[in-house]
Structure 1
Amino acid sequence: MMAGVNLQVLVHQLLGALLLPPFTYLLPIVAALLLLRRRPRLARVLLCSGALLAWLLSLPVTALALNGWLERYAPADLAQVRQTQAIVVLSAGKKPAPEYAANVLSADSAGRLRYAVWLAKRSGLPLLVSGGAPLGGEAEARVMARTLREDYALPPRWVEDKSNTTLQNAQLSAVLLRQAGISRITLVTQAWHMRRALPFFQQQGLQVLPAGTGFTRYDGDGVLNWIPQGRALQENHQALRELLGALYYAIRSLIAG
């Protein structure tokens, strides 16, 4: 299983496991249990801190705040989409589906692809799907291409299936686009991911219209946003992971001068 995992992706996964929930709030709780007899006052502080952090990271109001900061781009305007030359959609994972005896798209990948199809049918623009196999196995772009053909009867014009990171999505997609004489694209990815993804494509000399999807929203408001939810745990984890990724690339850019 590990043989097919990209080393860079593996390192990122391990660092994320150490720096992100649930480890970040389990660590003070475990430390509190170990210190309970020797340092009871400190143990209580650590225990309360861990519990408070776990509660905050399970709240919709926290997810709305964190993702709201990331989701800086408004939904795309269809008239502006029609002024571009192609739609590029980034993958966001796949998973085995025994009922289909094949790989299928993760929820985020499926959401991105559905929105890209919606835009393509209303604009007449060709599609480029981008995504390799960072965790091994079948390339995510291949799963996207199959889904486009079988579920939407809309085969992509380009399939970029070698990239393992967002930066590589941009670099390798740009090669295919330049070969076709395309310089203006509509970029489809998660709204919280666009803040990091869009500059990578602009650095390749492309004019990029952001077309985010999957904006963080909850039905209902007020007191409901202060009640812990499993979905909020996942969305807070994703937001913190994205912020950590942005910090990584900022440091990398600073070191590179």
Structure 2
Amino acid sequence: MNDLIHAVAAFLLPPTGAFPLLLLAWWLRHRRRWLSGALFASGLLAVWVGSTELGALWLQDRLLGPQQAVTVQALRDVPPRQSVIVVLGGGARRLMPEYGSAQLKTVSIERLRYGIWLSRQTDIPLMFTGGTPRDASDDTLTEAGVAARTAREEFGFTLAWQEDRATDTRENARYTAELLRGKGIRRVVLVTHDVHMRRAMRAFREALPPEVELVAAPMNLALPGIEWRDLLPSQEGTARARYLGYEWLGYVAGH
């Protein structure tokens, strides 16, 4: 059933989510011509929004609100050992043939790299949270374990903590809060992609004690201004729109 829900959701995400509008417009073309035309125009607009960088960013700003990058200076008013940078895992594969071993997915690598950069700039210890990948054959392989190995071997960096039980954002928050309990942490700096940040912040705010400050450190933020290429369909625009649709549905559903 869970796979069926994911399959239906995948079809409804941009830009294919506009297909029902276009099909309904075609079905009504002889019965309600004005309604058919309106639906067809709405479907075309939805396809454009769901496949261009400008359309996806416009929709993201209205659904999730604007976000800003955290500054290194803003993280230096609390002693480093009373803070922790928490990187949220975005997935791993149990085997990548070209490496011959388990590897992090692209979004996880991006988050880990940014978290390591922030840690080196501020001396704040780094934690990675992520459990067993979906395609793993057993629970001995965890995303946090792969992240620790990647950080050590590819970045020469050692994680302070690994949270290796979480399988979704709420569990990331709950198990992280449990692991940090009693360690004197006053501030948590949360690293994830900008589209995921709103849902992640809600989950961590609910899980952490109220006296612990929560700071958003979003990544993959868009540059200000637009170019004419942003109006054209692109892989980046489609990927952002689909990710946005997935995160917005998850936020509305309370996950």
1:71–1:215 Cα contact (<8 Å) kept: no
- State the distance in 2 between where 1:11 and 1:207 align: 39
Q: Unmatched 5+ residue regions in structure 1?
A: 1-6, 253-257
Which residue of the partner structure matches residue 178 of structure 1? 181
- State the distance in 1 between where 2:187 and 2:132 align: 27
Task: Quote the RMSD (CA, aligned, Å).
Answer: 2.7
- State the distance in 1 between where 2:145 and 2:42 align: 45
2:49–2:56 Cα contact (<8 Å) kept: no
Which residue of the partner structure matches residue 52 of structure 2? 59
**Which of 162, 167, 183 is 2:165 aligned to?**
162
Which residue of the partner structure matches residue 131 of structure 1? 130
**Which of 43, 49, 52 is 1:50 aligned to?**
43
The aligned amino acid for 1:212 is P
TM-score relative to the length of structure 1: 0.81
**Which of 10, 13, 25 is 1:20 aligned to?**
13
2:13–2:246 Cα contact (<8 Å) kept: yes
Q: How does 1:189-204 map to 2 (within 5 A)?
A: 189-203=192-206, 204=208
- State the distance in 2 between where 1:169 and 1:12 align: 22
Change (3 A) 1:39 1:160: same
Deviation at 1:25, TM superposition (A): 1.7
TM-score relative to the length of structure 2: 0.82
Secondary structure of 1:87's counterpart equals strand
Q: How does 1:183-222 map to 2 (within 5 A)?
A: 183-203=186-206, 204-205=208-209, 206-217=212-223, 221-222=226-227
Secondary structure of 2:20's counterpart equals helix
Q: Unmatched 5+ residue regions in structure 2?
A: none
1:170–1:200 Cα contact (<8 Å) kept: yes
Secondary structure of 2:221's counterpart equals coil
Deviation at 1:216, TM superposition (A): 2.9
1:87–1:116 Cα contact (<8 Å) kept: yes
Which residue of the partner structure matches residue 255 of structure 1? none
Change (3 A) 1:38 1:65: closer
Deviation at 1:221, TM superposition (A): 2.6
Residues 77-97 of structure 1 deviation map (CA, whole Å, 9 limit, x = unaligned): 213323252111001122342
Q: Is 1:79 matched with 2:73?
A: yes
Deviation at 1:99, TM superposition (A): 1.0
Percent identity of the aligned residues?
33
Secondary structure of 2:181's counterpart equals helix
Q: Which has the higher helix share?
A: 1
Q: Is 1:241 matched with 2:246?
A: yes
Change (3 A) 1:45 1:134: farther
Deviation at 1:23, TM superposition (A): 3.7
Deviation at 1:26, TM superposition (A): 2.3
Secondary structure of 1:189's counterpart equals strand
Deviation at 1:13, TM superposition (A): 2.2
The aligned amino acid for 2:88 is L
Aligned residues: 241
Deviation at 1:49, TM superposition (A): 4.0
